[in-house]
Amino acid sequence: MSILRNRDTLLTEGDIKKKIIFFAIPIFIGQLFQQLYNTVDSLIVGNFISKSALAAVSSTGTLTFLVIGFFFGFSMGAGVIIAREIGAGNKEKTSVSVHNAVAMGIFFSVTITLLGVFGSPYLLRAMGTPEEVYPEAVSYLRVYFLGCTGLIMYNTFVGILQASGDSYHPLIYLIISSMTNVVLDILFIAVFHMGVEGAALATIISQFLSMFLSFRRLRKSDESIHIHISKIRFEKNTLKEIIHYGLPTALQGSIIDIANILIQSFVNSFGADAVAGIGAYAKIEGFAFLPVISFSMAMSTFISQNLGAKKKDRIRKGIRFGLLCTFISIETIGLLTFVLSPYLVKAFNADPDVIYYGVLRAQICSLFYFLLGFSNVTNAILRGLGKPLAPVIVMLICWCAVRVIIFLTVGRVYHNILLACWIYPITWGLSSVVYIFFLKMIKKKGVY
């Protein structure tokens, strides 16, 4: 059956609440397993190697988010266009958009691999990575970037599947690849004693597996999203649209990550214990943030398809429901994180100093997760409504400029780890206030 007539995947018809929830749940479970990639690396590295190895793996996170996150912004833009064309019933335009997205993924795979492999040592030095963890950090990062094609192309293929309304198959592929990652981590680190390079190798092998599975699914899918090798190319007008939607999101993510690199440099100045402890918390926050990611992806696709079908009433109802679900789920997890943080951080490394830094960050940030959730889901809503510049403006000011200004001023006279903790809820709150204004302004203009 044509995907354009498939009632199970098309989000422009049927009960809104059920459509959003049943689309978001597989994404949530899938993201849960994807989060296992780096988390299992950190758990096994922290327990089977050393806390300095844990700090080495943790110190690379902001760099991988910066480099690969730039591409993810473009892939989101492609997803918005594909979902819109599917909602409008344009098979030919859907196919062109799909093949443009794949061509873009191949281009970024080559570019990011070269930048990551050759640029990692210089970037880690510029961040002030502690000397005792620097060699292992370089080794981990270089191996990771050598295999980043698997991650980039997997996200390209999954973005296409999710834009069509299929969140089930990406879930299955993530479960398979995540379990593979766990087995390989144990094998390479605990059995073969390959060190941090083994953790990175396990991750990239698993990523290539998930890439292959999702590619095979698209090759068997409906003609509108079926990938024909001979059709993979850039088409001028479609590429312009992808850049229009994707570049603002890509720049937004990169700008935020640049600010976070400054914060990571500040954390690095407190030594390996602080890097390991706050890095362990970052893994915990990754799990806590999963409901937000799930509802963000669901809302972006839901709104894009219904915008293409010109169903504004469904968009309004969907926005209200999505925001409510996000608030309830993320704040519940925030409360649990606050209470359980000592035990969660200890799972990564039992050193008291590592636990101290991780718990400090967790108990400051976790109670304000609702602000983080609101900002990110509203970001996805605006992107789905075809307003990609608004989130860029908000994030550029609130999550980048404000953070940089605070660290370049207050940070010079107040050298305290608390600054690296409180900066997040402060800027989450600021962006939430501005996003409320944007939503009201766009609604008055009749966009939804």
Q: What is the pLDDT of residue 2?
A: 39
Token pair, residue 252, equals: 């937004």
* pLDDT, tens digit, 9 for 90 and up, residues 252-304: 667 777 777 788 888 888 988 898 889 889 888 888 888 888 888 888 889 98
Q: Residue 177 above 50 pLDDT?
A: yes
Average pLDDT score over residue span 326-337: 92
Token pair, residue 232, equals: 């993979």
* pLDDT, tens digit, 9 for 90 and up, residues 78-128: 887 888 888 888 888 899 999 999 999 999 899 989 988 898 888 888 877
3-state secondary structure of 254: helix
Count of Cβ atoms closer than 10 Å to residue 414 Cβ: 11
Position with higher pLDDT, 160 vs 73: 160
Q: How far apart are CA 216 and CA 165, in angstroms?
A: 17
Average pLDDT score over residue span 419-430: 94
Q: What is the pLDDT of residue 399?
A: 87
Q: How far apart are CA 149 and CA 362, in angstroms?
A: 33
Average pLDDT score over residue span 331-344: 93
* Model confidence band, residue 37 (pLDDT cutoffs 50, 70, 90): low
The residue behind tokens 């098309």 is: 10
Q: What is the pLDDT of residue 337?
A: 94
* pLDDT, tens digit, 9 for 90 and up, residues 244-255: 877 777 776 677
* pLDDT, tens digit, 9 for 90 and up, residues 349-374: 888 999 999 999 999 999 999 999 99
Check: CB of residue 423 under 8 Å from CB of residue 401: no
Average pLDDT score over residue span 413-418: 90
Q: What is the pLDDT of residue 8?
A: 54
Position with higher pLDDT, 201 vs 44: 201
- Tell the burial category of 447 from Cβ atoms under 10 Å away from its Cβ (0-12, 13-18, 19+): middle
Q: What is the pLDDT of residue 38?
A: 61
Q: Is the pTM of this model over 0.75?
A: no
Q: What is the pLDDT of residue 375?
A: 92
First CA to last CA distance, the chain: 31
Q: What is the pLDDT of residue 295?
A: 87
Tell which residue, 321, 297, 290, 303, has the closest CA to residue 162: 297
| Residue 74 exposure: Cα atoms within 13 Å on the Cβ side | 23
Q: How far apart are CA 255 and CA 70, in angstroms?
A: 9
Q: What is the pLDDT of residue 356?
A: 94
* pLDDT, tens digit, 9 for 90 and up, residues 187-234: 998 888 888 888 888 888 998 999 999 999 999 887 789 999 999 999
Count the helix, strand and coil residues of the chain and give each as a percent rounded to the nearest 5.
85, 0, 15
* pLDDT, tens digit, 9 for 90 and up, residues 120-166: 888 888 877 878 888 888 888 898 888 889 989 988 998 899 888 88
* pLDDT, tens digit, 9 for 90 and up, residues 378-400: 988 988 888 877 888 888 888 88
* Model confidence band, residue 27 (pLDDT cutoffs 50, 70, 90): confident
Number of H helices, E strands in the chain: 17, 0
* Model confidence band, residue 7 (pLDDT cutoffs 50, 70, 90): very low
Tell which residue, 280, 257, 255, has the closest CA to residue 62: 257
